[in-house]
């Protein structure tokens, strides 16, 4: 069934041919572009990569009742220390490290707030202070305890709900790229939603040319392009999912301090060495906002960030971590 949904396009170019595949996974289209000597090699590699993403959805999904994450969330407040799989462990560990480092701006325990946000979008009404208060009791990364020695997780408070929406896609993209590499594919681009990872450049090119998502407001500057190889890029903001009440826009990214969706309209693009980091950092910088986000990124090695926002009537762009060095500079590019 799934392979019927997969589309494949191939074009010839020395030294390898370009092959492109797309398939819906994790509720969004995933895309793989790769160079391989023949179609059979390309298809087998892409199939294996998609299968890996599919497998990860069974671990990370907060929609699927039976995912490993959902099962873990249901143990909240029970006193159980739950052994977790290697994939879930890695994501939980990285998420908790970032939660501490960002002073809780990034927080995968925001599940109860995200549920309220989804409800508010359905009802077109903000949650009442009572609902928010009730959710607040079940949110806080300090209530998620990880045991590094035994790889167990414990959710200390009842009604907690973990949400990996800000990091799992990036992890899946990275994991798919690892599969391609293991199969000998040296030049590939894997994308899912706003997250992308690039390995070696296409033959004869200096990198993969990728558009930085532009702000969707009138008068916004047109998209610029970056050249990436052996890097990942992720964009966060309220482009695809948002809630609008009384003329005010609430992003699907929640400020854990208020429990409500962000209202500052900022689009954040992060370039990092791996896609898990790029994904998680783009969300974190979104929560921290322009000033706090830039200061945060500057303290971390290997991160470049581009922010575009509309604080008042003006559109403001800011960059840090040497983002500009990824812009196209090659006037002779094909
Ligand atoms: P992204 O598109 O990568 O920025 O991720 C947004 C998603 O992450 C949301 O749809 C929520 O599922 C989840 N999320 C929302 N707010 C936060 C937050 N402050 N920290 C971590 N995850 C969040
Ligand atoms: Mg993210």
Q: What is the residue-level pLDDT of the chain in tens, covering all 334 positions?
A: 334 345 555 554 445 899 999 999 999 999 999 999 999 999 999 999 999 999 999 999 999 999 999 999 999 999 999 999 999 999 999 999 999 999 999 999 999 999 999 999 899 999 999 999 999 999 999 999 999 999 999 999 999 999 999 999 999 999 999 999 999 999 999 999 889 999 999 999 999 999 998 887 777 888 899 999 999 999 998 666 668 888 888 899 999 999 999 988 889 999 999 999 999 999 999 999 999 999 999 999 999 999 998 877 788 899 999 999 999 755 334 4
Pocket of ligand 1 (CB under 6 A): 106-108, 110, 114, 163, 165-166, 236, 252-254, 256, 279, 282-283, 287
Q: Which ligand is nearest to the CA of 252?
A: 1
- Expressed in angstroms and rounded, the spacing between residue 14 Cα and the centre of ligand 2 is 36
Q: Please give the sequence-ordered ranges of beta strands (E in DSSP) within the chain, or none if there are none.
A: 7-11, 17-25, 28-36, 82-83, 144-147, 152-155, 188-192, 195-198, 208-211, 225-228, 231-236, 242-245, 248-251, 266-272, 304-309, 316-320
Pocket probe for ligand 1: among 112, 252, 279, 289, the residue whose CB has the most ligand atoms within 8 Å is: 252
Q: Which ligand is nearest to the CA of 113?
A: 1
Q: Which ligand is nearest to the CA of 243?
A: 1
What pLDDT is attached to residue 93? 98
Number of Cβ within a 10 Å radius of residue 242: 17
- Between CA 169 and CA 107 the distance in angstroms is 16
- Expressed in angstroms and rounded, the spacing between residue 268 Cα and the centre of ligand 2 is 10
State the closest ligand 1 atom to the C-alpha of 282, by its place in the atom list counted from 1.
4
Closest CA to 217 of 284, 266, 270, 252: 266
What pLDDT is attached to residue 312? 74
The tokens 């508010």 sit on which residue?
Answer: 120
The model's pTM? 0.93
The DSSP bridge partners found for residue 261 are: 254
Closest CA to 326 of 198, 203, 190, 174: 198
Q: Cβ(70)–Cβ(61) under 8 Å?
A: yes
What pLDDT is attached to residue 8? 54
Q: Cβ(170)–Cβ(280) under 8 Å?
A: yes
State the closest ligand 1 atom to the C-alpha of 234, by its place in the atom list counted from 1.
3
What pLDDT is attached to residue 4? 39
Cα–Cα distances (Å) from 243 to 39, 107, 201, 220, 268, in that order, read 43, 20, 39, 21, 19
Pocket probe for ligand 1: among 27, 213, 283, the residue whose CB has the most ligand atoms within 8 Å is: 283
Question: 70 phi and psi, to 5 degrees?
Answer: -65, -40
Pocket probe for ligand 1: among 117, 253, 260, 284, the residue whose CB has the most ligand atoms within 8 Å is: 253
The tokens 């208020």 sit on which residue?
Answer: 258
Classify strands 248-251 and 242-245 as parallel, antiparallel or unpaired: antiparallel
Which residue puts its alpha carbon closest to atom 15 of ligand 1? 253
DSSP code for 327: B
The DSSP bridge partners found for residue 333 are: none
What pLDDT is attached to residue 66? 97
What pLDDT is attached to residue 10? 54
The tokens 């589309």 sit on which residue?
Answer: 7
R_g over Cα of the chain? 20
Two tokens, residue 276? 């898990």
């Amino acid at each position: 069934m799934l392979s019927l949904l997969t589309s494949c396009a191939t074009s010839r170019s020395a030294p390898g041919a370009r092959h492109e595949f797309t398939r819906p996974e994790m509720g969004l289209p995933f895309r793989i572009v790769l160079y391989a000597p023949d179609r059979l090699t390309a298809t087998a590699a892409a199939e294996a990569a998609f299968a890996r993403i599919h497998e990860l959805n069974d671990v990370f999904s907060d929609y699927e009742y039976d995912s490993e994450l959902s099962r873990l969330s249901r143990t909240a407040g029970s006193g159980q220390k739950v052994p977790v799989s290697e994939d879930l462990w890695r994501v939980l560990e990285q998420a908790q490290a970032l939660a501490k480092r960002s002073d809780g701006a990034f927080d995968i325990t925001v599940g109860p707030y995200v549920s309220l946000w989804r409800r508010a979008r359905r009802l077109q009404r903000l949650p009442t202070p009572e609902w928010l208060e009730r959710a607040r009791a079940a949110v806080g990364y300090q209530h998620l305890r990880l045991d590094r020695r035994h790889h167990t997780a414990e959710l200390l408070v009842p009604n907690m709900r973990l949400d990996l929406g800000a990091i799992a896609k990036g992890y899946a993209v990275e994991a798919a790229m690892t599969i391609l590499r293991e199969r000998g594919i040296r030049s590939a681009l894997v994308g899912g939603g706003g997250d992308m990872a690039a390995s070696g450049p296409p033959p004869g090119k200096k990198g993969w040319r990728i558009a930085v998502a532009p702000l969707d407001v009138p008068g916004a500057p047109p998209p610029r392009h970056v050249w990436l190889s052996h890097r990942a890029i992720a964009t966060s903001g309220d482009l695809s999912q948002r809630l609008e009440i009384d003329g005010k826009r609430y992003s699907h990214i929640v400020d854990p301090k208020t429990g409500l969706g962000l209202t500052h309209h900022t689009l954040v693009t992060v370039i990092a060495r791996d896609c898990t980091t790029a994904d998680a950092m783009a969300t974190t910088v979104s929560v921290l906002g322009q000033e706090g986000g830039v200061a945060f990124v500057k303290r971390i090695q290997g991160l470049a960030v581009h922010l575009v926002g509309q604080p008042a009537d003006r559109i403001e762009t800011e960059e840090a971590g040497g983002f500009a060095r990824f812009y196209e500079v090659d006037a002779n590019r094909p």
